[in-house]
Amino acid sequence: MDFRDAPEEASFRSELRSWLEENLPDGWRELSPSRTRWNADVSREWSKKLYEAGYVGLTWPKEYGGRAAPYTHQAVFLEEMVRAEAPEHIGVIGLGMAGPTIISHGTDEQKNRHLANILSGDEVWCQGFSEPGSGSDLASLRTKAVRDNDHFVVNGQKVWSSFAHIADWCILLVRTDPDAKKHQGITYLLVDMHSDGVDVRPLNQMSGEPEFNEIFFSDVRVPIENVLGEVNAGWGVAMTTLLHERGTLGFALTSRLEVAMNKVVTLARETGAERDPLIRDRIARHWVELQGLKFTNYRALTTLVKTGVPGPEGSIAKLFWSESNQRLTKLALEIMGPRAQLDGDEGIWDGYWQYQQLRSRGNTIEAGTSEVLRNIIAERVLGLPRSR
């Protein structure tokens, strides 16, 4: 056991730290935290810069633009991004979900076509899994695809799709055999979002912002070479995506929580709440549970490095992160007292926390509800009897 950097981790860290020092967008550090700090243009440009410097896809194979670095470098990378409060890469879905799934199941053509573009941010991806009638019971999905020579023709509706309004590509689950058992008639497609018949409509969430979208598919033609894995074997491919969504992405989300934790400390200082013993206890409690989550991720990572398989502790990441983020954003509002009601320009930090708190309610629903994730841990990790 050793929590110090190994020599190559230390040199990677210091190289990255000085790179960040020189390359953060102009004036970025001076910007106060606010909801306007993130925008697609800054993020797109930043993604490109990161990619050119070789910091995106650290653990991906070299032939697809990665660095084939050990997983611990990804941990160092995330820590340093937190420390610098750097902007985020635009391709969250591509990097965390589509990319790893293509690496696992894709053909050489698919890998060559997409992976480097995902890393550079030239291709933004979205996810077409959930449907109005298929949430937690994802395998009941009804968007259908019918074979027409060398194409599938897709019709149906997807929902809760982040980034769809700016996405170039979509990982899409469709039903290709309506007569098979529900898990066996599903195919996983890579769909060009610029195809004819794709219609994206924004869904306003409770914060008033249109982060999610509905996607309507009307006779959208998808070439047969865009099937990921085998026809009617899409469920297994989708499991790879969900594993990464809750694991790989959960890891990155923890570092985002660390940024938020630091912001809460700043907020407490600015408002004088730092002297309130009850608030002090709550802040300390959050710091402690955040360390617990972070080191649990590290423990799963060590198992991954040593055995090639992530440890079962990894299943905790997304579940605990989502609930912790809800508690933390609520605490930020409590620190503000009655002024917590003021939003937008009138709010403290331009309504940053008001947005974060409302947004956090989605965290325990998206990417597997907390109820579904507890079922998964109960049945697959603890070996308890199936609940259905």
Partner 1 sequence: MDFAFSEEQEMLRSQARSFVTDRFGAERVAQLAETEAGWDESSWDAMTELGWMGLSIPEEQGGAGFGFLEEAVLFEELGYGLYPGPYFSTVALARRALDGAPEQLKRLASGGSRLTLAWIEGGRAKLLPETGMSTQAQESGDGWTLTGEKHLVPDASAATDVVVVAAGPEGLGLWVARCEDAKIEMDPTMDRTRRLGRIIFDGTPAEQVAGAGDVRSTLERVQMTAYAALALEAVGAGQAAFELAADHVKTREQFGKPIGAYQAVSHQVVDSYIGIELARSLAYWAAWCVAEGDERAPMAAAAAKSFAGEAAVASCERAIQVHGGIGFTYEHPLHRYYKRAQWIDSFDGFGSVQRASVATALLGS
Active site residues: 245
The least distance separating partner 1 from the CB of residue 91, rounded to whole angstroms, comes to 26
329 neighbors 357 (Cβ within 8 angstroms): yes
Pick 7 or 27: Cβ nearer partner 1: 7
The least distance separating partner 1 from the CB of residue 352, rounded to whole angstroms, comes to 20
Q: Helix, strand, or coil here: 249?
A: helix
Rounded CA gap, 211 and 91, in Å? 14
Rounded CA gap, 385 and 113, in Å? 43
The least distance separating partner 1 from the CB of residue 273, rounded to whole angstroms, comes to 10
Beta bridge partners of 203: 212
C-alpha 352, offset from chain centre: 20
How many residues sit close enough to partner 1 to count as binding (CB under 8 A)?
A: 49
**Per-residue string for binding with partner 1, 296-325, x by CB under 8 A?**
x-xx-xxx--x------x--x--xx-----
Binding status of residue 7 toward partner 1 by CB under 8 A? no
Rounded CA gap, 213 and 203, in Å? 5
Pick 106 or 368: Cβ nearer partner 1: 368
- Structure-token match 């993130």, residue found: 38
Rounded CA gap, 115 and 111, in Å? 5
The least distance separating partner 1 from the CB of residue 78, rounded to whole angstroms, comes to 12
Rounded CA gap, 102 and 125, in Å? 12
Pick 244 or 294: Cβ nearer partner 1: 294
Rounded CA gap, 164 and 341, in Å? 31
Rounded CA gap, 211 and 230, in Å? 32
Q: Scanning residues 46 to 75, which ones bind partner 1 (CB under 8 A)?
A: 72, 75
What Å distances lie between residue 63 and 67, 123, 195, CA to CA? 9, 18, 28
Segment interacting with partner 1, rule: CB under 8 A, options 94-102, 195-203, 339-347, 374-382 = 374-382
104 neighbors 240 (Cβ within 8 angstroms): yes
Q: Scanning residues 263 to 302, which ones bind partner 1 (CB under 8 A)?
A: 265, 268-269, 274, 277, 280-281, 283-285, 287-289, 291-293, 295-296, 298-299, 301-302
Pick 24 or 265: Cβ nearer partner 1: 265
Query: Contact with partner 1 (CB under 8 A): which of 52, 219, 270, 371?
Result: 371
Among residues 244, 271, 322, the alpha carbon closest in space to that of 71 is found at: 244
Binding status of residue 45 toward partner 1 by CB under 8 A? no
Pick 28 or 287: Cβ nearer partner 1: 287
Segment interacting with partner 1, rule: CB under 8 A, options 2-10, 134-142, 159-167, 182-190 = 2-10
Pick 72 or 117: Cβ nearer partner 1: 72
DSSP letter string, 28-77: TTTSPS-TTS--HHHHHHHHHHHHHTT-SSTTS-GGGT-----HHHHHHH
Pick 259 or 377: Cβ nearer partner 1: 377
Fill in the amino acid letter for 295: F
Rounded CA gap, 69 and 57, in Å? 9
Rounded CA gap, 75 and 301, in Å? 9
The least distance separating partner 1 from the CB of residue 205, rounded to whole angstroms, comes to 27
Binding status of residue 384 toward partner 1 by CB under 8 A? yes
The least distance separating partner 1 from the CB of residue 307, rounded to whole angstroms, comes to 10
Q: Helix, strand, or coil here: 255?
A: helix
Pick 203 or 378: Cβ nearer partner 1: 378
Binding site for partner 1 (CB under 8 A): 1-6, 9, 72, 75, 265, 268-269, 274, 277, 280-281, 283-285, 287-289, 291-293, 295-296, 298-299, 301-303, 306, 313, 316, 319-320, 371, 374-375, 377-378, 381-387
